[in-house]
Amino acid sequence: MHIDKFTPKSDMMMLLGFAAAVLLMPLWLQPFGAAYPDLMQRFAIFGLFAIGFNILFGQTGYLSFGHAAFIGVGSYTTVWIFKLFTLNILPAMVAGVVVSGIFALIIGFICLRRTGIYFSILTLALAQMSYNLAYSVLTPITMGETGLQVEAADPRAWDAPLAEGAVPRTNLFGIEMTDFGGLAGFYICAAFLIVGFYVALRITRSPFGSMLRGLKTNQNRMSYTGLNTRPYALAAFVISGMYAGLAGSLMAAMDPLAGAERMQWTASGEVVLMTILGGVGTLVGPFLGAVAIKYFENIFSAIDGAVLTSALDFLPDFLVSGLVPVLSLFVGKGWHLTLGLIFMLVVIFLPGGIMEGYRRIKARFSKQGEE
């Protein structure tokens, strides 16, 4: 069995390598056609969401199907701060993280009375209840299906009034998210991603992280020793929920509106796929899984029959006419089929996700070097 050896130096190198890869995205994503700010912001935001989810799922072993609820809570709280107080994203995001943490504490206290599939079903049920509350019951707060939006006429107590017809723009102490062609927004998301990765790294290497992995390995045995395991599981749930709330706050900061669709169960299932695809229990894996899925969603979904025909124009016409209808099933509206096939291959041949593939390649090259 392969066992990784971690030292403070190796952790620092991992952190620096991760930070460099994130900050240099506008350069190395160019050949892949993904170096535009909106997509890179999604990579950072959903990467942060997946890293936080991995603290609960990968470290502690609790599979939640309702984490998108915390994204919604973070988004709604952030937009309300934009409407009532200031367009500065920092206080709005702090409020979003705090409220999401309180909400996660309540949900976790209820759901962690059960384990295994019963815990998962409870999180799914409560998340769907939250979605329906936001969509139809709490419409004075959430604005229902139209969504909560920032308007120029909002009574912001800490900001100067905007001119009539002006477009409210979120900012960080004067730096607007759209500055420098949108790169300002990306680098703010990247900074939060790097900080979130560092916090996850410190949690993993701490005695608290060891306790979480002990819960995943054999919670019953730990309970037989007289240890009360619930506070540790609840702490992991709250931390993970705060990560999700931070991701939701970033979504609202980049695009100042909040809608109930962010709380649907499909969004919760998506982060599960990201974590499994990248590598459950690893530090970098969930981020890689998030990048892979969002890349397929935004790049492959934009490919249609005309693009395929243009790409295959070097082939004879009879081959093009035969290949385009078949390949069209896997791109455009059918991009989920491609994602499903890739996910199936990863689960069958690389159960540890992308990170297992990396370790296998690294081990093979190490053996060749020894020979």
Given this model, what pLDDT does residue 321 score?
Answer: 85
Whether the predicted pLDDT of 220 surpasses 60: yes
Given this model, what pLDDT does residue 313 score?
Answer: 83
- Which residue from 321, 351, 299 is spatially nearest to 33, judged by alpha carbons? 299
Single-letter code of the amino acid located at 139: T
Say if residues 129 and 263 touch (Cβ distance below 8 Å): no
For 76-124, how does the pLDDT look when each residue is reduced to its tens digit (9 = 90+)?
999 999 999 999 999 999 999 999 999 999 999 999 988 889 999 999 9
Using 50, 70 and 90 to split pLDDT, how confident is the model at 2?
Answer: very low
Looking at the DSSP assignment, which residues form a beta bridge with residue 258? 148
Q: pTM of this prediction?
A: 0.92
Whether the predicted pLDDT of 366 surpasses 80: no
Torsion of CA 78, 84, 90, 92, to 10 degrees: -20
For 150-201, how does the pLDDT look when each residue is reduced to its tens digit (9 = 90+)?
988 888 999 888 877 788 999 999 899 999 988 999 999 999 999 999 999 9
Please tell me whether residue 88 adopts helix, strand or coil conformation: strand
Half-sphere exposure of 300 (CA within 13 A, CB side): 18
Using 50, 70 and 90 to split pLDDT, how confident is the model at 3?
Answer: very low
N- to C-terminal Cα separation, the chain:
20
Angle at 276 between CA 49 and CA 364, to 5 degrees: 120
Torsional class of 50: left (φ above 0), alpha (ψ -120 to 50), beta (otherwise): alpha
Given this model, what pLDDT does residue 309 score?
Answer: 85
**Which residues touch 336 (CB under 8 Å, ≥6 apart)?**
none
